[in-house]
Amino acid sequence: MHQRHLPASPNWYCSRCSDINGKGVLGFGAKNTIYLLNVTAASPAVTGELTGHTERVSGFVFCSHDGQEHICASTSDDKTVKIWDAEQKILLKEHNVHQSTISAVHWSPVQKLLLVTGDEKGIVVCYWFSSNDTQSFFPEPRTIFCLSCSPHEENYIAVGYKDGMIVVIDISKKGEVIHRLRGHDDEIHALAWCPQPREEPLYWRSEDNTDGSNGVTEGAEMGCYLASGSRDQTVRIWCTARGKGVMTLKLPFLKRRGAGVDTAVKERLWLTVHWPKGRPSQIVSSCFGGEIIMWDLKKSGKQKWSLLGSSSDGQNHSRIVFNMSSFRSGDRELLLSTSMDREIKCWDLASLECCWTLPTLGGFVYCLSFSPVGTGCLALGIGDSMIRVWNTLSIQNQYDIKTFWQGVKSKVTALAWHPLKEGSLAFGTDDGKVGIYEVYSNKPPQISSTYHRRTIYSLSWGPPVPPMSFGGSGDKPSYSLYSCAGEGVIFQHDLWKLSGEASNIDKLIRDTNNIKHKIPPHTDLSWKPDGSVLAIGNEDGSIEILKAPMLKLLCTVQQHHKIINSLRWHHEHSSQTELQYLLASGSSNAIVYVHDLKSVIETPSESPVLMTEPFRILSGHTNKITSLAWSPHHDGRLVTVSYDGTAQVWDVLKEEPVCNYRGHSGRLLCVQWSTVHPDIVWTGGDDFTLHEWAVSKQEHVTPPKTKKRVEMGKKRGPQKKSKKKKKAPEKGGMKAEERELPLGEEIKGAAGSGAEEGQSDNDEEEEERENTDGPSVTGWSRESSVDTRGTERVQNGEKFSHAVKREVKEEKKREKPDLSLKKRKPRSILPLSTSMDHRPKEELQQDCLTLAAVRYSHGQSRACVPGSADHIQLGLFTDRDALYRMFQEEEESHVEAGHYDSMVYLRLWKGDLIGAINLAVEKGELTDHLLSLAPMAGYQVWARTVEAYVKQLCQHEQFLKAASHLVSIHKLYEAINLLKSHQFYREAIALARARLQPEDPVLKDLYMSWAAVLEKDGHYAAAAKCYLAADSSFDAAKVIAKKGDVISLRTAANLAQISGESELAHSLSLRCAKDLMLFQDWAAAQKVLRMQDSLLGHRLVFCVNEILTQRLADTDVVTWSVASSHTWSKSCDENFLSTVHRVWQSEFGVAAADLVKVKTLHQQLRAIENPPATTSVPLKQLLFHISLDVTLCALSQLLCDWPSVLEDLLRALTRGSEVGHFTLMTEVCQLLLTQGLESVTFYKQKLDPTDERSLVISQSVEAFVCYQLMYKKWWNYSAETSALTNNTFSNGLCLTEKNHSEVEANCNEEAQSDVIFSEGFWKVLLSEPHANLQATQRAIAEIQRRVTSLIQHSFLSLLSSESLSTLTAQLAEHHKVLTALPELVKKYSFPDVMECCIVLLHMGKYLTPFPQHICSKATTLLCKYGTTESLCKAWKRLTQ
């Protein structure tokens, strides 16, 4: 998509943040992005980016294995490690094992799937790419700076630390330290293994050898040499076979031509080393000031090194080098280096010469400008405090760029080439500085003595206007430089006298056009190429067209409604002459307007014209327009850039889009059309990049519909907002961003702005300072001291802290003169009279004569009134009346300017205290100082002032302060109400408690109101305290219980008990105990219930439940574990009910002797609703219901109420049956009726034979006992039929054919049992009244189901009236049958009679014969009552 590309600068202070693979692809981390370049010996080409990290990239490395050169890895300050495919530019895998900032990374040259990383806490993580496995080691509790995997031993890793220690670890032995290499005494910046295996004798005697040995190995040894570079200014060679150093290489001090050795440069050293693969006896290292030296390890003597790029000046880096990597391109071995000077260089290791240099950018690209004289010469204004001038037409060097930094010291936000003078470039900066560089000389820039107070928006060369245009042609320059800045002022700078004061053209505009009103702040200007007309854009969106030289207002364009960001006139060399009158404008409302001003300029009217209709409207961008440029090669061809991240080319005459460029990953800030190639456009943005692209090669026509900035935000990932650093106050004591645009408007053209995407101005400031640094006089810029991410170790704690602090101090000393220039005096309280002292010397001397005449009455006093009009300044030097007149005019001036505080001071000085207070009240400018003076005017005035001040404070939401002032005038209730109304309940209560009586109703109202708010917000404990303070303990307990957990319920119950709310305590304790029961925490449940005497009955139920659960734990019914239990609940051989009675007597004091107590408990529990069982009831809840029935049964037994005993027994037995849990029913039956039918007979003997109800109940109990015995007998014949019988029970005998065949086969093999049930056994089960009842209920349910089904499927209309009446009649008949049955039969549960008949017939056929009359009775009952379809099918399957 792009032709040439200047990428962002590589990150600083990283041990390995760039790498190159065997195919010549270089990758490096810049900010949070990885840039990829195709590298050859001739030139580089940017091919793409890898985006995904959310913070600074701290490391990058390629996999060096054949076939996997496209795989690479990156680390970041976001603590993640990402694996990428550099060809597809996609993320493959990632991990975030590290918990601290990652400081080192390397891909194993031996194990192609192993990636090793290290962090600042000393953790080494090995990551196997294919299996996604990780293994962590902690060899030393030190900060890791670098690491390197051995190219010969797959398990060896060398790790360098901050304190100078180097260790070699073996990852196959759990990170065991093989060697500790001691010798360096400062940070280890880089480690490099020798590419040749085995430690061959390579070295001559070295005088620098630390251990005094000759440095020559006696013979080949196993191991491999290791090189290390340290901040202690040495490179050391280590023998890893013996764990000793064999050579020490000290960096030479290289004096550059015309420069001395700066001691600060030594302290700012970064010493990286690289061991080229094809050169086992040569090591490349960096040096102090950016030089790169090649060490020849075979050389003898001290001069072991050769300097790269020594043949000519300018080849070396100008600042320290951070990373180096090499690869072989054909027959040449090339070395790539990255440096603090923001350049990437390629070196030929054979010739030691620089092949090419790629400049990179360390800040936003704010502005671009092509020279009108030097063809193809492009100037760039960058946020890294540097200007770059690019000869884009250079044939030998595609990136022929010169950098200018001297005298800049701030972000370059505006540029403008002189129209005629070659090489003269004007620049404007973020701190309001205007200067001119002569780019073809080595002189420092000329700086205008007039500074703007805020960021420079634009610069423009134009014809001089008064007063500079006065005089002869030889007395003035042909062009003046005009600058527009954030404070809304345009200055005209004299090119010949930049040291003189610049003129504000607003004065000329006022005088020429007789303007009395306030002129809107200016935001951009553009001179028509012929110099006849000036266009000025304003903050309110208006554009003024003024005719030179007197700047007479011809026209005002009112089309935009937001700040004007860019104005551009069409070029004059068009084939259509009328096009030269076209003016394009862009603002923050995302629409570009083109205005045709031909009639206004050629035939101007006497009065200014108001233009409200544009010539063309170009809409499509989705965010603010930041820059415009007309094509110098076409008629009416315009390119625009926007915060939406795209550049748009328009055909203005057709009002149509031509193409849209989307190559940037950030917001665009500037654009220029190539002055040479009609198809080439240049764009720059806040992604720190400059792109050259061809219009004809773009695939998109219009900007994206959705805002591309959202997509860019996703690419970047969430940006961590660093803490805002306090900026030194500028002129006026405010930050530039805060002053430039009122009401939160963004800064024009994004110069110094960062308000977009929810970031504050200061956040953007910090983001841009990442990696930003421009050289100063000594090569170290002011911004380097605040570099938050480029200087990694500054941000993360300790590294370079001492050096940076020293450098910062030195820079501050150097910058003091500049800072003093920018310091602004506080605003004068007498601005009118003060301004009169800044007139020409002649007028000031005339003031002395006038004052003398007035003082000595020499006749001139009549024409002069001191303190007013043109003689206002004399009011300070005559009498009081004159002074008061001066005060009056100054007050009017302050009111007009909105400086009411100054006006109040003047009135105070006059002694008009009440007037000053009234004015401050009226304007809302009351202060604590004024309030403290108010008592001087009396109590009433003071009280009124306090009330007014309270209203003012409330408008500013300072409610606490307002309430305190109300208290000062004894308006206590008003103060409390003020705090309450704004939800300062805590403060209101504190005030009320301190000043009101305890019984005051206001206190209770405060507590109740606050409690309601706290309860709504879920702060239940705090709300409860409020309710308690308001004597509402019931509400306090209720609100604590709202959370519903066990602890809250227990606390609420205790609270209710303490406060005397016994009923509430009863219910809450019971709720808490039930929750504990669900957790099977029996001990805690009993403890909670023990607190309430009224819960004794419930304690008995919980006791039975615990014993029952413990008994069932031995079966398959209870499968859960118990949290806590009592010793008396453990299983034993004792009868269940006997155990219950024993425990009741010993633990709860409940025995048969105390009948009154037992009867009371029985009545209490009988009143509890025990709902019928359903299949949806959880098993724990079901056991609790059974326990209640058993408890009632046991109490009835103590009372000798035998009918109730059997009735409660029946309910306990039937609950398992009702939910289809046959096992539960069987186990409960065996626990309660241990002897089976004999136990039932025992209870029947206790009954009154004449009591029909008791007999029916006993019959049902007996039937359920027989029912479970029937199945038990059947199961005893074959264990394999258990699944069959379970299906029979739960599904109403709807058995499958498969189960039937299995039963038949098993039963045929079993011998018939000699045990035959008695006739009485089957007589109980085959009860015809119950069979009739159950058949009738089934028939009614079937009819109701059919009718319901018909209604649900809308088939009721198809049903004839005759069939409906038939169904109705059938239903009525069944209800009659149901009514005729005895009530007692209908009231109590009974086993399914039809089911018993089918089982009887089946057993009689396959297991053992039964008497014929019993089988006949079963058959008769089936024929008579088993008419439903499901029963018929089951009957056929089991008996045929």
Residue range 1036-1048: mean pLDDT, rounded? 90
% of the chain surpassing 70 pLDDT: 83
Contact between 84 and 74 (Cβ < 8 Å): yes
Task: Give CA separation, 200 vs 196, 216, 1313, in Å.
Answer: 9, 9, 95
Q: Please indicate whether residue 891 or residue 1105 has the higher confidence score (pLDDT).
A: 1105
Residue range 1261-1287: mean pLDDT, rounded? 66
Kindly report the backbone phi and psi dihedral angles of residue 963, in degrees, each rounded to the nearest multiple of 5, phi listed first.
-65, -40
Rounded Cα gap, residues 1399 and 1376, in angstroms: 30
Per DSSP, what are the bridge partners of residue 484? 458, 490
pLDDT band at 204 (very low <50, low <70, confident <90, very high): very low
pLDDT band at 1233 (very low <50, low <70, confident <90, very high): confident
**Sheet of 582-587, strand order:** 564-569, 582-587, 591-596, 616-619
pLDDT band at 359 (very low <50, low <70, confident <90, very high): very high
What is the pLDDT, as a whole number, of residue 15?
94
Rounded Cα gap, residues 425 and 435, in angstroms: 8
pLDDT band at 257 (very low <50, low <70, confident <90, very high): very low
Please state at what angle helix 1001-1016 crosses helix 1033-1041, rounded to 10 degrees: 10
Strands 647-651 and 637-642 turn out to be antiparallel
What is the pLDDT, as a whole number, of residue 1314?
37
What is the pLDDT, as a whole number, of residue 458?
96
Residue type, 436: I
- Other CB atoms within 10 A of residue 45 CB: 15
Rounded Cα gap, residues 283 and 274, in angstroms: 6
Beta strands in 439-494 (DSSP E): 446-447, 456-462, 480-485, 490-493
Would the pLDDT of 1380 be above 50?
yes
**DSSP string spanning 778-808?**
TS--GGGGG-SSSSHHHHHSSTTHHHHHHHH
| Interval 942-988: pLDDT, tens | 899 999 999 989 988 899 999 999 999 999 999 999 999 998 999 99
Contacts of 1014 (CB under 8 A, 6+ apart): 1020, 1022, 1023, 1026
Rounded Cα gap, residues 379 and 373, in angstroms: 13
Q: How many Cα atoms sit within 13 Å of 762 on the Cβ side?
A: 12
pTM, rounded to two decimals: 0.55
Kindly report the backbone phi and psi dihedral angles of residue 655, in degrees, each rounded to the nearest multiple of 5, phi listed first.
60, 45
Rounded Cα gap, residues 75 and 795, in angstroms: 17
Contact between 121 and 107 (Cβ < 8 Å): no
Would the pLDDT of 586 be above 90?
yes
- Other CB atoms within 10 A of residue 1020 CB: 21
**DSSP string spanning 400-452?**
-EEEE-TTT-S-EEEEEE-SSSTTEEEEEETTS-EEEEETTS-PPPEE-SPPP
Rounded Cα gap, residues 357 and 214, in angstroms: 41
Kindly report the backbone phi and psi dihedral angles of residue 649, in degrees, each rounded to the nearest multiple of 5, phi listed first.
-100, 135
User: Omega into 280 within 30° of 0, i.e. cis?
Assistant: no
**DSSP string spanning 326-393?**
EEEETTEEEEEEEETTSEEEEEETTTTEEEEEEE-BSS-EEEEEE-SSSTTEEEEEETTTEEEEEETT
Residue of 699, 702, 537 whose CA lies nearest to 619: 702
- Other CB atoms within 10 A of residue 302 CB: 12
What is the pLDDT, as a whole number, of residue 596?
94
Per DSSP, what are the bridge partners of residue 544? 536, 556
- Other CB atoms within 10 A of residue 1019 CB: 16
The separation between the first and the last C-alpha atoms of the chain, rounded to the nearest angstrom, is 85
What is the pLDDT, as a whole number, of residue 880?
85
Residue range 158-172: mean pLDDT, rounded? 95
Residue of 275, 348, 359, 283 whose CA lies nearest to 317: 359
Sign (positive or negative) of CA dihedral 1280, 1219, 1198, 1140: positive
Contacts of 786 (CB under 8 A, 6+ apart): 725, 769
Take residue 829 and report the two structure tokens written for it.
């309280």
What is the pLDDT, as a whole number, of residue 1277?
61
Q: 3-state SS string over 826-889?
A: CCCCCHHHHHHHHCCHHHHHHHHHHHHHHHHCCCCCCCCCCCCHHHHHHHHCCCHHHHHHHHHH
Sign (positive or negative) of CA dihedral 276, 281, 286, 289: negative
Take residue 519 and report the two structure tokens written for it.
């002129």
Residue range 1039-1065: mean pLDDT, rounded? 90
Residue 519 host element (H or E): none
Take residue 217 and report the two structure tokens written for it.
């190995």
| Interval 785-832: pLDDT, tens | 333 333 333 333 333 333 333 343 444 443 444 444 444 566 788 888
| Interval 1130-1165: pLDDT, tens | 888 788 888 888 998 898 888 888 889 889 988 988
**Helix, strand, or coil (residue 955):** helix
Rounded Cα gap, residues 1170 and 1189, in angstroms: 8
What is the pLDDT, as a whole number, of residue 1382?
83
pLDDT band at 1352 (very low <50, low <70, confident <90, very high): low
pLDDT band at 466 (very low <50, low <70, confident <90, very high): confident
Would the pLDDT of 588 be above 60?
yes
| Interval 827-851: pLDDT, tens | 788 888 888 888 888 888 888 888 8
Contacts of 308 (CB under 8 A, 6+ apart): 284, 291, 292, 293, 294, 315, 316, 335, 347, 352, 353, 354
> Per residue in 771-807, is it b (16+ CB within 10 Å) or e — as a string?
bbbbbbeebbbbbbbbbbbbbbbbbbeebbeebbeeb
Rounded Cα gap, residues 60 and 343, in angstroms: 18
Sign (positive or negative) of CA dihedral 800, 803, 806, 810: negative
Rounded Cα gap, residues 385 and 364, in angstroms: 10
% of the chain surpassing 90 pLDDT: 44
Residue located via tokens 């980016």: 49
Would the pLDDT of 1405 be above 80?
no
Q: Provide the mean pLDDT of the chain.
A: 82
Residue range 90-111: mean pLDDT, rounded? 95
Report the C-alpha dihedral over residues 12, 17, 22, 24, rounded to 10 degrees.
Answer: -40
Would the pLDDT of 1439 be above 70?
no
Rounded Cα gap, residues 416 and 481, in angstroms: 9
Take residue 208 and report the two structure tokens written for it.
């620098």
Would the pLDDT of 358 be above 90?
yes
Least confident of 212-216, 834-838, 1009-1013, 1333-1337: 212-216
Residue located via tokens 């109730």: 1204
| Interval 368-386: pLDDT, tens | 999 999 999 999 999 999 9
Contacts of 141 (CB under 8 A, 6+ apart): 122
Q: Please indicate whether residue 209 or residue 199 has the higher confidence score (pLDDT).
A: 199
Q: Please indicate whether residue 400 or residue 199 has the higher confidence score (pLDDT).
A: 400
Contacts of 1135 (CB under 8 A, 6+ apart): 1234
Burial of 1127 (0-12, 13-18, 19+ CB in 10 A): exposed
